[in-house]
Structure 1
Amino acid sequence: MSAVYINSVACISAQDTLNENFFENLQPQNSVQLLKAIEPNYKEFIPPAASRRMSKTVKMSSVASKYALQEAGIENPDAIIVGTGMGCSQDSEKFLKNVIDNNEEFLTPTFFIQSTHNTVSGQIALGLQCHSYNFTYVNTSSSLEFSMLDAKLQINDGEAENVLVGSTDEQTDRTMELYKLNNTIKEEKNLPVDFLNSNSEGVIWGEGSSFFVLGKEKTESSYAQLKDIQIINKLELAESQQFVEDFLAKNNLKNDEIDAVILGFSGDAKSDVYYTNAMDLFKNSSLLYYKHLSGEFNTASGFSTFMACHILKNQEIPEVMKINSVKKEEVKNILLYNHLGGNDHSLVLLGKA
């Protein structure tokens, strides 16, 4: 498969990533259980009447997708593909609450209609009046990777030239309560957390929305080449190094040719061992982490992809992301490794555009 170019990026996250100077103002967060996204003033982008009917994830995605399309100079993409782990859980919760409160009678269908996972891609298409291929992937922590793989195949097969790809997830009160009860979210007694040397289970949970325009042709504003993606659902710890090495061999790369590796350390002692294991393969690469900036969530890899694109374009690595002190003269290849709780492992290879 030939390379596909990432021609624009936009991200709404726990960092002020819509601000042009966000690179210098990255603030690590290690002492809260939940990391909220910094939201824009939606009135500037969405009519207030429409905004009131939209859940947080739809609003974040509408704005991030507008930024991405604007930067790429595209009015109507050839396809819209969105990855989400939890979908529109805010509206799902509202609908289920209505079912209970009204004894399953006289229910308005609005919350149910808006609670489906593909609401996000549908709302973006409605706003753009885009009648092209529209698809949503719900594959927990590899939802974005499946979306990008689909977009890459569409472009390589000549089905599309420019594809809008996004990832989005929101926090909701009841779901966060349940995550605290089953120890998915760290207990307060284990805060603040040392993301790289944690000895407790659980994570700091975040949220956010990241959008990218993938194109067949390189442009003046191109950030990176999307070279390859590998996804596996289950992986034993003993197999993790082989998983990475096979992926590099498939792309004719040696370990030393990877200039930077972005690992998804989440502070969960039980599952972070996969990253510690993978680190041993890259003694001569810049090792980076990011979930102390974004929090952990199903599509947190959207934030790491966004950061990787900026690193490749600007040839600059933020100090706050560094695990080691290795510094390459030029960043040509970045490997992203992510999973959620030890499941759904993904590798993404990005190259300099």
Structure 2
Amino acid sequence: MKGYISGTAAITPQHTFDTGRYLEEWVDHQTSYLSATEPAYREIIDPKLLRRMSRIIKMSVASAYKAMQMAKVEIPGAVIVGTGLGCVQDTEKFLKEIIDNEEGILSPTAFIQSTHNTIAGQIALMLQCPNHNFTFSNRGHSFENALEDALLQLQEGVEHVLVGGADEITPIVHELMGSIRCVSINQEDQLSVLGEGAAFFILTKDQNEQSFAAIEDTVAFNNPLVDDVRGKVVQFLDRNELASADIDLVLMGHNGVADGFFDAMGDLMKENAIAQFKNISGESFTASAYGHHLAAVMLQKQQVFQNTLVSGKFGGSLDRILLYNHYKGVNHTLTLLSKCPS
């Protein structure tokens, strides 16, 4: 399955929304999790609508709008979103109302806005888009499942698909996840640092004037051993008739914690330039959505950005990027992206 990227935008803990100054300035976060660096939403979204939007809706709508503007698409043939935690802020609000009202009569608004499919639904309502609308929530494969559905939609004849991944963090969620040792709660912890954000894409079946990158192939797999990952990578390259020397950059979701999977990948691809993306996005169920966005932007700009290169030397041009990510050693992803021929 193949799809062409004609537009993409992302909001992350770093400056990634403004393409003119993409990752030019590095934000030094002083908190124990990475909160999103958000744009001026009033310039993108009707201020009257902003008042009723939670942060994850704002991030998603703004990213979706910008991706569509880049691709010159007004109404997508499908809206597909992956999210691990959904609208956490609204979920907390709803649960607080239950407690405050002692389980009495509640307004249904907070509950309606707290469901995972609120993001895709809100985008479709604002666009007046009646087409295929799906939300996938499957831990570390939430975005991957959304991407697979998007590619299937293209295969079935849909002209263009809006697909993205989004997750938000609140202090309460961070405290809860930290209490069960899922993420770092202070600088002394040898655990991954939680992050938040949204990344959206317009995918098309055929290359057009706006296309700048292509998703050549993608595969998701669960619970492998370290040696299994090596075999999966070799098998993945073989089925695309490629050798490791044909890959210009390996982009990995290493989160700074000692990890046998990433060590094995680094050893297998040691002759290649290797870069990372979770130092930008932080760890989340849908961090790989930003990884795909970063790979696409690198192919478009023919640039490896500061603070991303881990090892090896950038050769000056990028034709193919191999993305590898996993979440907690359970949900693993391989995606091959390429530059569109001019």
Query: Deviation string for 1:195-239 (max 9, x for gaps)?
Result: xxxxx5311111001110001221233221111111112112231
1:70 aligned partner, one-letter code? Q
* Within-5 A mapping of 1:91-240: 91-158=90-157, 160-190=158-188, 201-240=190-229
Deviation at 1:327, TM superposition (A): 2.6
Which range is displaced more, 20-29 or 53-62? 20-29
Partner of 2:310: 323
1:334 aligned partner, one-letter code? I
Partner of 1:196: none
Partner of 1:297: 284
Query: Deviation string for 1:150-173 (max 9, x for gaps)?
Result: 111111222x01000111111122
| 1:26–1:320 CA contact under 8 A, matched in 2 | no
Q: Distance in 2 between matches of 1:307 and 1:17?
A: 9
Deviation at 1:22, TM superposition (A): 3.0
TM-score by length of 1: 0.92
TM-score by length of 2: 0.95
- For structure 2, list consecutive stretches of 5 or more residues without a partner in the other structure: none
Partner of 1:25: 24
Runs of 4+ off more than 6 Å:
none
Q: Distance in 1 between matches of 2:185 and 2:98?
A: 31
Deviation at 1:265, TM superposition (A): 0.9
Partner of 1:333: 320
Partner of 2:257: 268
2:179 aligned partner, one-letter code? L
Distance 1:28 1:230, change over 3 A: farther
Q: Distance in 1 between matches of 2:137 and 2:48?
A: 29
| 1:83–1:166 CA contact under 8 A, matched in 2 | yes
Which range is displaced more, 93-102 or 112-121? 93-102
2:199 aligned partner, one-letter code? S
Q: Distance in 2 between matches of 1:156 and 1:349?
A: 18
| 1:15–1:27 CA contact under 8 A, matched in 2 | yes
Deviation at 1:293, TM superposition (A): 1.6
**SS of equivalent residue, structure 1 residue 111:** helix
**SS of equivalent residue, structure 2 residue 231:** helix
2:288 aligned partner, one-letter code? S
Q: Distance in 1 between matches of 2:329 and 2:190?
A: 12
| 1:84–1:168 CA contact under 8 A, matched in 2 | yes
Partner of 1:43: 42
- CA-based RMSD: 1.6
| 2:142–2:165 CA contact under 8 A, matched in 1 | yes
Q: Distance in 1 between matches of 2:185 and 2:31?
A: 10
**SS of equivalent residue, structure 2 residue 307:** helix
- Residue in structure 2 matching 1:244, options 218, 233, 245: 233
Which range is displaced more, 179-188 or 293-302? 179-188
| 2:15–2:22 CA contact under 8 A, matched in 1 | no
Deviation at 1:24, TM superposition (A): 5.2
| 2:175–2:185 CA contact under 8 A, matched in 1 | no
Distance 1:224 1:71, change over 3 A: same
Deviation at 1:28, TM superposition (A): 6.6
| 1:183–1:201 CA contact under 8 A, matched in 2 | no
Aligned residues: 340
| 2:150–2:161 CA contact under 8 A, matched in 1 | yes
Q: Determine what percentage of the aligned residue pairs are the same residue.
A: 40
| 2:299–2:319 CA contact under 8 A, matched in 1 | yes
| 2:322–2:336 CA contact under 8 A, matched in 1 | yes
Query: Deviation string for 1:104-162 (max 9, x for gaps)?
Result: 1111111111111000000000000000000111112221121111111111222x010
2:107 aligned partner, one-letter code? T
**SS of equivalent residue, structure 1 residue 319:** coil
Query: Deviation string for 1:234-270 (max 9, x for gaps)?
Result: 112231111211111121111111111111111233x
Q: Distance in 1 between matches of 2:46 and 2:317?
A: 44
- For structure 1, list consecutive stretches of 5 or more residues without a partner in the other structure: 191-199
Deviation at 1:303, TM superposition (A): 1.6
